[in-house]
Amino acid sequence: MTAFNGAVRTAEEKSRAWRLHTLTWAAENALRLEGDFVECGVFEGFMSQVVVDYLDFAKLPRTFFLYDTFAGFSPRYSSPADFVADWNFYDFAQKAYAKPGLAAEVTARFARYPNVRIIEGVVPDSLVGTAPDRIAYLHVDLNSPKAERAALDALYDRVVPGGYIVFDDYGWEQYGPQMEAADGFATSRGAAVLELPTGQGLLIRS
Ligand SMILES: C[S@@+](CC[C@H](N)C(=O)[O-])C[C@H]1O[C@@H](n2cnc3c(N)ncnc32)[C@H](O)[C@@H]1O
């Protein structure tokens, strides 16, 4: 609770308390495995800040890789059709994500953590040559079905057995294509994503 209260800045962030509970649970358990931590889709860094504060991450012999364009969706991977229930959501979200000075804001937010690496660029392209070989914790929160599928294609084999993959928007009707992308990938690997009451999806690497 201390990590959550220390990071929270808005009522919207406060509403994500249970989702943070899932993430801190996954992150704490991931420490029993070998491997680094990855988040695809960082925005202002709220959720990852709660995780690093909760784990006192600076003291850990791990690296947390944070991937985002810090300028919103890439037209190569995203379009309004990704949001089937409300095509206007694309423009609304794009405006919010393309917040001026965002990369600098996030850099400042994690300045206390020398083992947090911020990688600016389009996922999955930015994963090439930067992603860690072994991953114990992977948070997928791009709001982009194509980019999320491509991130899974690139990263899944690097997730160690028993490693935790959490999809932020898996169960919400608004984000149906994200569920289809995650399920399509999981099925191709003989696995299944667990839908949580928070709307998140959980996949444990077998
Ligand atoms: C829902 S927000 C992430 C929220 C974040 N996890 C938090 O703690 O608040 C989605 C983010 O994904 C980023 N994004 C979307 N598509 C992307 C892509 N293909 N490559 C990199 N970043 C992308 C957006 O810029 C946006 O910041």
CATH class as words, domain 2-204: alpha beta
Give CA–CA dist 183/126, Å, rounded.
23
| Distance, CA of 49 to chain centre | 12
For the segment 93-148, what is each residue's pLDDT rounded down to a tens digit? 999 999 999 999 999 999 999 999 999 999 999 999 999 999 999 999 999 999 99
| Mean pLDDT in residue range 52-81 | 97
Q: What integer best gives the mean pLDDT of the chain? A: 96
Using H for helix, E for strand and C for coil, what is the string for 158-205?
Answer: HEEEEEEEEECCCCCHHHHHHHHHHHHHHHHCCCCCEECCCCCEEEEC
Domain range annotation of the chain: 2-204
User: CA 97, 203, 151: angle at the middle one, nearest 5?
Assistant: 45
pLDDT band (50, 70, 90) for residue 89 = very high
Q: Could you tell me if the CB of 66 is within 6 A of ligand 1?
A: no
Give CA–CA dist 156/187, Å, rounded.
13
pTM of the model: 0.96
In ligand 1, the atom with minimum distance to the C-alpha of 121 is 21
Asked if the peptide bond before residue 132 counts as cis, ω within 30 degrees of 0, the response is: no
The residue whose CB lies within 8 Å of the most ligand 1 atoms, and thus the one to mutate among 24, 69, 109, is 69
